[in-house]
């Protein structure tokens, strides 16, 4: 009789393994907590035999303290979120705390950016930084204006007038560039 192929061997290994797992599960089902209890006792014995039991007890104590701090932190984030949303704390649903942390952090960052701009506007160097930031923010429009035809440039001017916006220095200069192929 010829030997089994690698594929056939793999099939039988998996098939027999599944039957063994099924039997282990049925034995474990007769005493549902057996494996958990054995795992806990075996871990405790391992800690004791390695001389780590006291240190593990300290770690367990620290974990308890961390959990309490985490609960306090969650309550504070919930209160902060309620303050941001201008609702009572009870109205903030604890659906996903990571999102709440993100919402609080995001609100703080947005407000911080506003205050940063206010502070920069009060300082001569800060004013220059704001001007350069504005140029950078509008750079794509500026490049398109510099390379567009006269009709787009005229339309841009009308949009700026309609919105009551101010053009950046570079945009003004881009509008003054003569369109390629349209020179007199």
Domain-embedded: residue 141? yes
| Rounded average pLDDT over 33-60 | 90
Domain-embedded: residue 144? yes
Rg over alpha carbons for the chain, rounded to the nearest Å, is: 34
Query: 0.75 exceeded by the pTM?
Result: no
Domain-embedded: residue 174? yes
- How high is the pLDDT of residue 27? 85
| Rounded average pLDDT over 29-37 | 84
Res. 1 pLDDT band, cuts 50 70 90? very low
Domain-embedded: residue 131? yes
Residue 170 has pLDDT above 70, yes or no: yes
| Rounded average pLDDT over 161-166 | 92
Give how many domains the chain has, as a whole number.
1
Residue 161 has pLDDT above 90, yes or no: yes
The DSSP result for 20-88, as a single string, is HHHHHHHHHHHSTTHHHHHHHHHHHHHHHHTT-HHHHHHHHHHHHHHHHHHHHHHHHHHHHHHHHHTS-
- Tell me which of 22 and 100 has the higher pLDDT: 22
Domain-embedded: residue 163? yes
Domain-embedded: residue 153? yes
Res. 28 pLDDT band, cuts 50 70 90? confident
Mean pLDDT over all residues of the chain?
A: 87
- How high is the pLDDT of residue 160? 92
59, HSE (Cβ side, Cα atoms, 13 Å): 6
Domain-embedded: residue 171? yes
The domain of 165 spans: 125-184
- Tell me which of 104 and 136 has the higher pLDDT: 136
Domain-embedded: residue 183? yes
Rounded Cα distance, 161 and 140, in Å: 20
Residue 178 has pLDDT above 80, yes or no: yes
The tens digit of pLDDT for each residue in 49-107 reads 999 999 999 999 999 999 999 999 888 988 998 999 999 988 887 655 556 678 778 88
């Amino acid at each position: 009789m010829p030997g089994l192929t690698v594929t056939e061997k793999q099939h039988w290994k998996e098939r027999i393994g599944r039957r063994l797992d099924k039997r282990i599960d049925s034995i474990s089902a007769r005493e549902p907590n057996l494996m958990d209890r054995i795992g806990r006792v075996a871990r405790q014995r391992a800690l004791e035999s390695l001389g780590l039991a006291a240190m593990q007890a300290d770690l367990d104590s620290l974990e308890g303290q961390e959990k309490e701090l985490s609960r306090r932190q969650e309550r504070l984030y919930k209160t902060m979120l309620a303050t941001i949303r201008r609702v009572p704390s009870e109205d903030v649903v604890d659906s996903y705390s990571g999102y709440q942390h993100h919402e609080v952090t995001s609100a703080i960052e947005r407000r911080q950016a506003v205050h940063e701009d206010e502070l920069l506007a009060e300082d001569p160097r800060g004013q220059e930084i704001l001007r350069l930031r504005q140029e950078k923010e509008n750079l794509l429009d500026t490049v398109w204006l510099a390379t567009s035809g006269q009709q787009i440039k005229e339309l841009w001017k009308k949009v700026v007038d309609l919105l009551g916006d101010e053009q950046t220095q570079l945009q003004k200069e881009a509008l003054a560039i003569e369109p390629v192929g349209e020179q007199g």
